[in-house]
Amino acid sequence: MNSDYSKKVIIVGAGPAGISCAIQLKRSGIDPLVLEKADPGGMLKYANLVENYPAFPGGISGKELSVLMLRQFDSEGVKIHTRRVQSVLYSSGFYNIETDSERYTSQILVVATGTSPILIEGVEISVDAEKKVLYNPSDFVELKNQNIAIIGSGDLAFDYALNLHRFNKVEILCRSSKPKCLSLLLERLRNYPNCSYSCNTSVISVSMLDSGLRILCSENERNIPRNVDYLIAAIGRKPNIDFISDQLLVKLNEFKLNTSFFIIGDAFNKNYRQTAIAAGDGVKTAMIINEILKE
Ligand SMILES: Cc1cc2nc3c(=O)[nH]c(=O)nc-3n(C[C@H](O)[C@H](O)[C@H](O)COP(=O)(O)OP(=O)(O)OC[C@H]3O[C@@H](n4cnc5c(N)ncnc54)[C@H](O)[C@@H]3O)c2cc1C
């Protein structure tokens, strides 16, 4: 494959993992190229209050923390191209990376692409209602004066609600008999009169009613309708690694490419998706890469 750009190290994704990896590589004198499909900062931009990233007593909003990370990233002079990676192939010791425009080649590839939302299944959603069923924070963080239902019972659902309650009325619909979020999130939510949650509540169908949605829920064995403006799904996230070809996955096993190919941060960490862990992954991976390139 002819490539437009050839780099020793390419990092895909500019969230906390990719940013930390790039900063640490620069400190070692290695000049990576970062490919990012959207605004840098990753999912952290949408976290309401981050209280478990050291150095910020009392917490810091995800948005502010991502701005600080990006300021450091910029001050290190890391090169970033706004590109969506579509596929990766491995051949003769190089990774060939196809994006929505140029093609790239690298000797070492770091995949720090985070996660994407799991879509709702088993619920009848009419085609015209689909545009009001939202999955990505970028589509709903700016909502104001809306009546919103959120499906989910974990930290993500409660964090979204705590973010949205300032300007909206929010109800969380939990299928489980009790919320599964951190108890401190639940306590906070209880303090806000425009936030509520209902347990043992499963959404059965979603249809349009006037300009909003009519949601039918099975609630303690009774079917109860609700009228809302939007439905947000916070039912889990899966690794964003579909662009890694099967050919590469086979080669990873056959040739043990673990000194040139890394998946880090939320894309790798299953149940341990936290900013500090993603940042730590990034720094550690950069240190391993530095050792490999010195050999
Ligand atoms: C609402 C919410 C609240 C949270 N609260 C906390 C908290 O309190 N404390 C905490 O520690 N963590 C929290 N988190 C989790 C934290 O945001 C993540 O753990 C962290 O952002 C993971 O970093 P990452 O770099 O691995 O992935 P991400 O932040 O997801 O970054 C991945 C990047 O890769 C890019 N990308 C994806 N696919 C491609 C592609 N094909 N081509 C190019 N670029 C691509 C994406 O656009 C994105 O910028 C929260 C997250 C959310 C959503």
Write the pLDDT tens digit of every residue in 42-77. 999 999 999 999 999 999 999 999 999 999 999 999
Q: Closest Cα to atom 5, ligand 1: which residue?
A: 47
Which residue among 12, 33, 37, 43 is best mutated to probe the pocket of ligand 1, counting the most ligand atoms within 8 A of its Cβ? 43
Strand 94-99 and strand 85-91: the pairing is antiparallel
The residue whose two tokens read 């939302």 is: 117
Question: What is the Cα–Cα distance from 140 to 127, expressed in whole angstroms?
Answer: 19
- Residue pair 25/286 in contact (Cβ under 8 Å)? The answer is yes
pLDDT at position 2 is 56
Strand 147-151 and strand 133-134: the pairing is unpaired
**pLDDT per residue of the chain (295 residues) written in tens, 0 to 9:** 456 788 999 999 999 999 999 999 999 999 999 999 999 999 999 999 999 999 999 999 999 999 999 999 999 999 999 999 999 998 898 999 999 999 999 999 999 999 999 999 999 999 999 999 999 999 999 999 999 999 999 999 999 999 999 999 999 999 999 999 999 999 999 999 999 999 999 999 999 999 999 999 999 889 999 999 999 999 999 999 999 988 888 877 776 677 899 999 999 999 999 999 999 999 999 999 999 999 8
Q: Under 8 Å CB-to-CB from 27, ≥6 apart: which residues?
A: 76, 286
Q: Closest Cα to atom 27, ligand 1: which residue?
A: 114
Pocket-forming residues, ligand 1, beta carbon under 6 Å? 12-18, 35-38, 42-44, 46-47, 50, 52-53, 84-85, 112-115, 156, 159-160, 240, 243, 265-267, 273-276, 278
Extract the tokens encoding 225. 């309708």
Question: What is the Cα–Cα distance from 51 to 60, expressed in whole angstroms?
Answer: 7
pLDDT at position 139 is 97
Residue 49 CA: nearest ligand 1 atom is 8
**CA 15 to ligand 1 centroid distance, Å:** 5
pLDDT at position 186 is 97
Extract the tokens encoding 224. 């109860």
Q: Closest Cα to atom 12, ligand 1: which residue?
A: 274
**CA 114 to ligand 1 centroid distance, Å:** 5
Helix 183-190 to helix 155-164 angle (10° resolution) is 30
**CA 226 to ligand 1 centroid distance, Å:** 32
pLDDT at position 286 is 98
Which residue among 113, 164, 235 is best mutated to probe the pocket of ligand 1, counting the most ligand atoms within 8 A of its Cβ? 113
Extract the tokens encoding 288. 């391993």
Query: Computed over its alpha carbons, how large is the radius of gyration of the chain?
Result: 21
**Structural domains in the chain plus CATH codes:** 5-116+238-294 (3.50.50.60), 119-235 (3.50.50.60)
Instruction: Count the residues in the chain.
Output: 295
Which residue among 33, 44, 65, 245 is best mutated to probe the pocket of ligand 1, counting the most ligand atoms within 8 A of its Cβ? 44
For residue 248, the SS3 value is helix
Extract the tokens encoding 289. 């890469």
For residue 245, the SS3 value is coil
What does pTM read for this prediction?
A: 0.96
